[in-house]
């Protein structure tokens, strides 16, 4: 395996030096935070100056920050610099309510760009690549974040943004695109509409895809790799921590390296707030270490994952996170059983007769909850008659039941008949009355 680094000394630094880097970063972040209206009030009685931080143990003195805190600080409650030093802002991609806003100085953007470049190098990209960035440009961080990192690496960037699949495919063919960046849902959408747009896989020179922005299982990754004949790398991030470039897979694809010189990672029990052990799933909490304009301390992401124990063969010492197992707020409780949409996806994507699209519907059936899983079947399995597929339906139902411990109703649908998603997919529709 060809392992390349942006900065080997920093990426393979020993843990005690990394602790020193993080302690200095935390002192800087606390100093910045104390300049903001929000943290000046929030840190009272906990931490009054950066000198209060003597080691990483002092992190515990700092209270958590939540999404609601950021919303309530809209528009400039967590701004640590004067407006004249800010060069860009992004807001979160949530569709309703008050967004969260993150400001950047030029130095903040340079740091983000460096992390993105590092991520691209870690996954084997080089200046010889041709990169088609199919993520939305604008307030959403997926487009611009990758864009600047790829340019810094010297890659030719085709900034298509999302949507317009026919044009995407045409450009991929004409410019011999080698790398793409898209949500897993959009990769599936492209694969399933390729023929109708007049293209086939042999028209392309694609080598790698960066997939992220939404939860997906290992089986989804494998399916994308098989469909396109490429390597697909998981990319994780969130607007509050810049966007993409927080955690990224290296060429070994054994988990997401969190760039710990820029973020402190904690994985906590969502109820008690205490750290969980490596290998145990908990809520991810991040602290920014280098951000000037919008420092964020101990941010509760609501994403659930675990730290992967052991070391990665690539030699990087920055710890790895597992795939995101779900969110504290997307867990469905169905007749008392806890079900994560990711469990359902994991099962569906390993059934070869299943296509690339599915929906999860939760409703009321009298007093009980009802779970319906709508599944598009693979075009190779569909011969024009759905009634032939009773055996497949029972197979899917049995596999789901064995995994989630409740009995779903399974509906099979023709290829291309369920809603398609060009950006983050919304596959769960919960129509139960919420009190
Ligand atoms: O989605 C940033 C991003 C853009 C990451 C492009 C990667 C690629 P937000 O819109 O703020 O930012 O959404 C962040 O999306 O808390 C997770 O719940 C989810 N998410 C992002 N990447 C992954 C991933 C961007 N690889 C929220 N796996 C996060 C699972 C992901 N979930």
Average of pLDDT values for 34-58? 98
Q: What is the pLDDT of residue 424?
A: 86
Q: What is the pLDDT of residue 111?
A: 98
> Binning pLDDT at 50, 70 and 90, where does residue 364 land?
confident
Q: Is the CB of 143 under 6 A from ligand 1?
A: no
pTM for this prediction: 0.90
Q: What is the pLDDT of residue 433?
A: 59
Question: Which tokens belong to 156?
Answer: 């030719």
Q: Is the CB of 213 under 6 A from ligand 1?
A: yes
Lowest mean pLDDT among 45-54, 82-91, 329-338, 394-403: 329-338
Asked if residues 220 and 349 have their Cβ atoms less than 8 Å apart, the reply is yes
Q: Is the CB of 141 under 6 A from ligand 1?
A: yes
Q: Does the pLDDT value for residue 271 go beyond 80?
A: yes
Lowest mean pLDDT among 62-66, 97-101, 282-286: 97-101
Q: For the segment 82-117, what is each residue's pLDDT rounded down to a tens digit?
A: 999 999 999 986 545 688 999 999 999 999 999 999
Average of pLDDT values for 181-191? 92
Place of tokens 């693979």: 378
Q: Does the pLDDT value for residue 435 go beyond 50?
A: no
Q: What is the pLDDT of residue 388?
A: 82
Q: Does the pLDDT value for residue 50 go beyond 60?
A: yes
Residue of the CA atom closest to atom 16 of ligand 1:
238
Show Cβ contacts of residue 180 under 8 Å, excluding neighbours closer than 6 positions: 131, 132, 133, 134, 172, 187, 206, 208, 209, 210
Average of pLDDT values for 203-208? 98
Average of pLDDT values for 318-325? 96
Q: How close is the Cα of 93 to the center of ligand 1, in Å?
A: 10
Q: For the segment 228-270, what is each residue's pLDDT rounded down to a tens digit?
A: 999 999 999 999 999 999 999 999 999 999 999 999 999 999 9
Q: What is the pLDDT of residue 434?
A: 54
Which phi and psi angles does 254 have, rounded to 5°?
A: -110, 30
Whole-number average pLDDT of the chain? 94
Q: What is the pLDDT of residue 392?
A: 95
Spatial separation of the C-alpha atoms in residues 53 and 420, rounded to whole Å? 49
Specify the higher pLDDT residue, 405 or 352: 352
Spatial separation of the C-alpha atoms in residues 291 and 80, rounded to whole Å? 10
Q: For the segment 286-316, what is each residue's pLDDT rounded down to a tens digit?
A: 999 999 999 999 999 999 999 999 999 999 9
Q: pLDDT exceeding 70 applies to what percent of the chain?
A: 98
Place of tokens 């997401």: 256
Average of pLDDT values for 212-216? 90
Site to probe by mutation for ligand 1, drawn from 102, 136, 180, 237 as the one with most ligand atoms within 8 Å of Cβ, is 237
Q: What is the pLDDT of residue 93?
A: 61
Q: How close is the Cα of 50 to the center of ligand 1, in Å?
A: 31
Average of pLDDT values for 315-334? 92
What domains can be seen in the chain, in order of their start residue? 1-329 (3.40.50.12780), 332-430 (3.30.300.30)
Q: Is the CB of 149 under 6 A from ligand 1?
A: no
Q: Does the pLDDT value for residue 284 go beyond 80?
A: yes
Q: Is the CB of 237 under 6 A from ligand 1?
A: yes
Q: Is the CB of 245 under 6 A from ligand 1?
A: no
Q: What is the pLDDT of residue 146?
A: 98
Q: What is the pLDDT of residue 96?
A: 52
Q: What is the pLDDT of residue 98?
A: 81
- Residue 75 preceded by cis peptide, ω within 30: yes
Q: Is the CB of 130 under 6 A from ligand 1?
A: no
């Amino acid at each position: 395996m060809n392992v390349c680094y942006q900065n080997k000394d920093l990426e393979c630094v020993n843990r005690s030096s990394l602790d020193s880097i993080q302690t200095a970063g935390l002192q800087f972040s606390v100093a910045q935070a104390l300049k903001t209206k929000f943290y000046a009030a929030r840190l009272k009685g906990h931490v009054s100056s950066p000198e209060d931080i003597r080691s990483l143990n002092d992190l515990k003195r700092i209270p958590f920050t939540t999404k609601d805190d950021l919303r309530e600080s809209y528009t400039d409650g967590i701004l640590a610099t004067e407006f004249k030093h800010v060069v860009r802002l992004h807001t979160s991609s949530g569709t309703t309510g008050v967004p969260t806003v993150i400001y950047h100085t030029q130095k903040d953007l340079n740091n983000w760009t460096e992390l993105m470049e590092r991520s691209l190098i870690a996954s084997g990209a080089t200046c010889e690549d041709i990169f088609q960035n199919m993520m939305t440009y604008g307030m959403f961080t997926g487009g611009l974040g990758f864009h600047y990192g790829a340019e810094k690496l010297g890659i030719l960037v085709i900034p298509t943004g999302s949507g317009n699949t026919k044009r995407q495919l045409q450009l991929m063919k004409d410019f011999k695109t080698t790398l793409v960046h898209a949500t897993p849902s959009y990769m599936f959408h492209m694969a399933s509409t390729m023929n109708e747009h007049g293209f086939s896989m042999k028209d392309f020179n694609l080598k790698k895809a960066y997939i992220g922005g939404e939860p997906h299982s290992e089986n989804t990754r494998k399916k994308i790799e098989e469909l396109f004949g490429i390597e697909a790398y998981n990319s994780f991030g969130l607007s509050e921590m810049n966007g993409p470039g927080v955690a990224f897979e290296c060429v070994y694809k054994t988990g997401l390296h969190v760039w710990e010189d820029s973020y402190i990672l904690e994985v906590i029990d969502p109820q008690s707030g205490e750290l969980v052990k490596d290998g145990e799933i908990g809520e991810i909490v991040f602290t920014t270490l280098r951000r000037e304009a919008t420092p964020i301390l101990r941010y509760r992401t609501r994403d659930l994952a675990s730290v992967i124990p052991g070391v990665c063969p690539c030699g990087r010492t920055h710890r790895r996170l597992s795939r995101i197992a779900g969110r504290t707020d997307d867990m469905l409780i169905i007749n008392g059983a806890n079900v994560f949409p990711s469990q359902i996806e994991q099962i569906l994507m390993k059934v070869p007769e299943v296509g690339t699209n599915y929906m999860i519907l939760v409703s009321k059936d009298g007093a009980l909850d009802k779970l319906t899983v709508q599944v598009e079947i693979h075009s190779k399995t569909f011969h024009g008659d759905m009634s032939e597929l009773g055996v497949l339906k029972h197979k899917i139902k049995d596999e789901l039941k064995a995994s989630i411990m409740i009995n779903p109703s399974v509906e099979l649908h023709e290829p291309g008949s369920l809603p398609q998603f060009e950006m983050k997919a919304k596959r769960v529709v919960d129509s139960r009355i919420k009190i």
